[in-house]
Chains A and B, each alone.
Chain A
């Protein structure tokens, strides 16, 4: 049933794109927005021993990047299974 297959693949791809865009907006927000665009504003806020903007640009964004990749891996592996498109072992 090629039509059903194609439908399934398309839905999988759409779900993938949705997940990706969501994660990339977090990626953009923590680095470009918090670390660059509004860094001076955030620097007025003290975050432990850091100014908040400085923390985002030199520490925090990197921690978020790691988190984003692991969330992506976890969500994608379950999407693979949900649509029956995972690899054989």
Chain B
């Protein structure tokens, strides 16, 4: 079977599975639709949380980033897993005990204020939309690359699938689909990694292969070989970092607190039956996530070695198929600076500007001509880091079915995250805006209808962003984490751990954290991108890490305002005491 037919088969089968599950698990009540009736087994919730959490960025981009950045990639590895420790110890069990539907529910009730609830709703919608746009784009890219359809068609198919099970099934449908999607995506990630680990080191466990010796008989450790190769070619050594310590620290902290504060992750812990299920469920989720996250650095190192070995000093005319294929898609470019017909892969950017701008026609070896100017180093090759996970199985010459599997896995990762985010958006609209704020008199059936309608509207808007990307998807992701870290994380944490915390402190804290983080990111990313370097950053902290400072400001302001404003009413203080204890109290 050809690769394309095989890909259609794998993707078709996985989509059939998702639709089947959606039909089987339709939602009948708002409780089903919002939190799956709180009947989800903790292991199932762990798998669903893992799929919910691991997006197109984790599946497709992360290993690529680590492959090219080496040690600096650790900020994603630690940041996106360490957040689960915060979630398990500080938030999940207490929010489960609180037993409502949404994050704005908690903020609104705990701070006895509709204003606080509305601020929270706006944050939820903003954070979730920035995040979901990137997922739909990821769906489109996988479709266009593997099934050779237009990106637009790919996005439309993706929308149709998500529409079907999110609108019909709500949280209940999404949960069980996500469990299936986790299985698909982890299988698709591990299989090629295991193959390649055996090829390079003889060790079938990629996370151990990373620390093993090369199987070529040299007896050299793989990482030492990689450090040797990279420095030899004038690149930064793989295991050495380039980012400043303070920036690494702040970015990692922002990703951790952001992870713990992301509404679509938090809400998953409302779906289990008990407080102790919420605790253990966070543990299962992290085990499932760690399977991919400990494999990613191995995939990254393997890919870097394979790429260097297969393309450096390669005669262009003899280039393998994948090279030409990705060159045609515009993600690889070669400029024959010394006109020897061979690809020299060295340190530094090959092109000026960095990204390739293709001209009409071909060069003397048959490569696509470029309008870019050569830079004055020896590097002739541009490789987009996003192709690593998709291209690596081909680079390592694995069988077609493995490559087709990777396409299905990438789609599972993007669709599962998109669905989780869309549900959070629709819940924020139907529950927090309609039922709790503007139309408190609607019946449960009407609320459920609104929930389905807003899910449908959210899918449409997300698809629109997928087809017409704002061009800044990568930039705006920094927003989602920074804002979650600077707003929700402190406000929920203090709401649980400080009985004295009141609405004045919560609202000023959230606003200060949000406004500061938002303006800092907007300034460096959109208003003056030319100033976006360590010299101009506040304390040397990049926009990626500024959420941590926003969070610290939120904590500080809250503590001060709290001292000078009245304590919360007694019933709210009682509520805080109640959520701290797992046992259901008889009404007092």
Contact = CB atoms under 8 A, between A and B. Distances in A.
B319 interface: no
21 contacts: A12-B581, A23-B85, A23-B89, A32-B252, A39-B241, A49-B224, A50-B223, A58-B73, A63-B294, A65-B84, A66-B286, A66-B290, A68-B85, A68-B89, A69-B282, A72-B89, A73-B276, A87-B274, A87-B583, A87-B584, A88-B584
Nearest to A37: B245
Question: A interface, by DSSP: helix, strand, loop or mixed?
Answer: helix
B279 A31 contact: no
Interface in A48-89: 48-51, 54-55, 57-59, 61-63, 65-66, 68-70, 72-73, 76-77, 80, 84-88
Contact of B283 (A9, A57, A69): A69
A12 B581 CA distance: 8
A73 B71 contact: no
A62 B293 CA distance: 8
Given A9-B581, A69-B88, A76-B276, 17 more contacts: A20-B89, A24-B85, A36-B245, A36-B252, A50-B211, A57-B78, A59-B211, A62-B290, A63-B294, A66-B283, A66-B290, A68-B85, A70-B283, A73-B88, A76-B279, A85-B581, A86-B582
B200 interface: no
Contacts of B293: 62
Contacts of B279: 69, 72-73, 76-77
A23 to B, nearest CB: 6
A70 to B, nearest CB: 5
B77 A62 contact: yes
B78 A62 contact: yes
Contacts of B222: 49
B283 A36 contact: no
Contacts of B77: 57-58, 61-62
B297 A31 contact: no
A76 to B, nearest CB: 6
Interface residues of B, number: 49
B212 interface: yes
A31 B290 contact: no
B223 A69 contact: no
A49 B287 contact: no
Given A36-B252, A39-B241, A49-B212, A13 B580 contact: yes
A55 B280 CA distance: 26
Most B CB within 10 A of own CB, among A31, A36, A43: A36
Interface of A: 9, 12-13, 16, 20, 23-24, 27, 31-32, 35-37, 39, 43, 48-51, 54-55, 57-59, 61-63, 65-66, 68-70, 72-73, 76-77, 80, 84-88
Contacts of B66: 58
Contact of B287 (A16, A66, A76, A85): A66
A15 to B, nearest CB: 12
A81 B88 CA distance: 19
A27 B224 CA distance: 28
B155 interface: no
Nearest to A26: B85
Nearest to B227: A51
Closest 10 CB pairs of A and B: A49-B211, A57-B74, A49-B221, A69-B283, A58-B297, A54-B239, A69-B88, A85-B583, A73-B279, A48-B211
Contacts of B120: none
B582 A51 contact: no
A9 B222 CA distance: 54
B81 interface: yes
Contacts of A48: 211
Interface in B54-97: 66, 71, 73-74, 77-78, 81-82, 84-85, 88-90, 93
